[in-house]
Structure 1
Amino acid sequence: MSDSMIRLDHVTKLYGNVIGVNDLVTELPTDSYGLIGPNGSGKTTLINLLIGHFRPTIGTVEVFGKAPTKNRSLLRHVGLCPASDVLYPNVSAAEWVRFQVRLHGFSRTESKRLALEALEMVGMTKSMNRPMGTYSLGMRQRTKLAQAIAHRPQLLILDEPYNGLDPIGRSEMTTILKQWRAEGRGLLFASHVLHEIEAVTNSFLLIHGGRLLASGNLNEIECILAGTSQQIRIAGPNVEKLLHRLAGVPWIESLSLTQNPRELKLAVRDSAELYRQLPGWVIADNLEVETIRSSDGELDALFDSLLRHHRGEAG
């Protein structure tokens, strides 16, 4: 099997005149990755390309060195937990998962054993013989995960796996995915919620508008964004006193003042320098600062910064 888990070579997928993904280029060794982007960014299109449901309009897709559309046996090595609900209401989880494993070529006896092990792993043993039409959304999500992992794939692909899970279910899901990662298997975890992925892996692929904006860990992405402005808001009854301090400062790209609430909005290229000088200004000018809010860690702000970086608007 190839050392490369996923390879995308200038991959574009068109739906008529609509672009699903646009010129994706990356190569990923076997590891765990978060595929993160807002709804409609191209995450599900990319997943469908990886499992061979879609054929790229331009470029080539390889999973473990093979094209998914030409090598259907490749699916034996891939497990998919889709975002859509694909369960059958009159069939039990035990029957459904066992049937899914059989489709990968396992014997009846082996399929039953693997299905039971997977359902136990996701906490569905007590309910596995009930019709799936009686399940809650969280139980259906667990059952989908069970069928994705039951045949012991080398790559597990999950599309919004936390949908419908309560806090306990989310914690249990995170534990399962961490264990999967610890076993050295591949994981591609699609979500639009950054902290969900951060709990499992610190390696990211950031996709927006069908384009891959950045890839790497958080430190590497921060390096990409070095020199890109952050949005910072400082609120308080007399924050206008800061205007004379900030006017003409080279690392301030823009500043504006709102009246109600009284808030100073800044676009700052060097936030560290702002935070270094701000305490002195507060004391010297007798400022009353109630809140300071930064865009750090906010997904929308991160994508906005990356988009401006790609358009050449940073720095």
Structure 2
Amino acid sequence: MIELNHVSKMYGNVVGVNDLTLRIPRGAYGLIGPNGSGKTTLINLLIGHFRPTLGSLQVLGTTPTSDRRLLRRIGLCPASDVLYPNVSALEWVRYQVRLHGISRRECKSLAEEALETVGMTSAMHRPMGTYSLGMRQRTKIAQAIAHQPELLILDEPYNGLDPVGRNDMTQLLKQWTRSGRGLIFASHVLQEIESVTASFLLLHGGRILASGTAQEIESILTDTPQEVFIKGRDAAKLIHRLADVDWVDALQLNHGKNELRVSLREPAEFYGRIASWIRDDNLAIDQLQTPDGNIEAVFESILRRHRGETS
């Protein structure tokens, strides 16, 4: 779906993205990173709005800056507000579809269908200047999907949506991915990514620090330092076991909660022994709380390693 070969984008002396080399098969991917990490720059490269300073890239088998027909195959929802206050949603979405070379008659039906999909049918004839932020966001999503693209690229699509709107958006994106079409979903809020897909690209400082699927996330967690909480009446009785190994950095016991917090340098060693320790010592342990499956734990662990805080 996307191929990057040593791609860098410079703004004078500022690096937007830095030497990205990556092959992404068709599927749904969360592009995760803090503000200023390079997410929007990468999106602009993918749609051909920016030309790489160095390197080359292809999207859906073609070069974005040399083949403008690619835009017919891509749907984009930018982070910026690009709506016109005196124009209705139906007029605006229909015009956006028309720009892709689709007939006038088909444009209207496609625009109406997309606005219905995002829950804007009842308001689609009103001027967009009367819309709330959430309604404007729904309208932007409608124009991104109306021409039925192969690849949907969303930059912070949950901006301005209330809880109902966020749930609706999540269901729409899940349905989109189930249809087999591509999705790149940029956000700095990890929970938004997790609700749609387990495949992620972690961008920081203009570089890809990690990428992977749900299974690879678990592998990353196992190999990176983390904290584990052991809860139960006999949690304190594990201290003598954990104090004798060199892959535990710290232990902290909360007597009131019967909870033991363990800072692990090598989590795989812990997971390989904890069950037998509990069985052999006949301990009453109610809960073992780990960060497995939580992308935020991966994010923090990899950033600590990238900054040199852990080995």
Distance 1:172 1:128, change over 3 A: same
Identical-pair percentage:
62
Alignment pair present for 1:179 and 2:178? no
Structure 2 residues not aligned, in runs of 5+: none
The answer to whether the Cα contact below 8 Å between 2:217 and 2:295 also exists between their aligned partners in 1 is: no
Distance 1:77 1:256, change over 3 A: same
The one-letter amino acid paired with 2:271 is A
Structure 1 residues not aligned, in runs of 5+: none
Deviation at residue 206 of structure 1 after TM alignment: 1.7
Deviation at residue 27 of structure 1 after TM alignment: 1.2
Deviation at residue 277 of structure 1 after TM alignment: 6.8
Distance 1:293 1:40, change over 3 A: farther
Structure 2 partner of 1:126? 122
- Residue in structure 1 matching 2:113, options 111, 114, 117: 117
Partners of 1:44 and 1:8 in 2: CA distance: 16
User: Cα deviation per residue 1:155-178 (whole Å; 9 max; x = unaligned)?
Assistant: 110111112112221221122112
Partners of 1:105 and 1:306 in 2: CA distance: 45
- Report the TM-score, using the length of structure 2 for normalisation: 0.85
The one-letter amino acid paired with 1:146 is A
RMSD (CA atoms): 3.1
**Secondary structure of 1:226's aligned partner:** helix
Deviation at residue 146 of structure 1 after TM alignment: 0.5
The answer to whether the Cα contact below 8 Å between 2:220 and 2:298 also exists between their aligned partners in 1 is: no
The answer to whether the Cα contact below 8 Å between 1:225 and 1:309 also exists between their aligned partners in 2 is: no
Distance 1:112 1:53, change over 3 A: same
- Residue in structure 1 matching 2:61, options 49, 58, 65: 65
Partners of 2:109 and 2:187 in 1: CA distance: 31
**Secondary structure of 2:144's aligned partner:** helix
Structure 2 partner of 1:30? 26
**Secondary structure of 2:158's aligned partner:** coil
Distance 1:268 1:274, change over 3 A: farther
Structure 1 partner of 2:99? 103
Partners of 1:294 and 1:32 in 2: CA distance: 26
Partners of 2:213 and 2:298 in 1: CA distance: 14
Partners of 1:104 and 1:291 in 2: CA distance: 55
Moved more, 120-129 or 207-216: 207-216
The answer to whether the Cα contact below 8 Å between 1:227 and 1:314 also exists between their aligned partners in 2 is: no
Deviation at residue 8 of structure 1 after TM alignment: 0.7
Alignment pair present for 1:168 and 2:167? no
- Report the TM-score, using the length of structure 1 for normalisation: 0.84
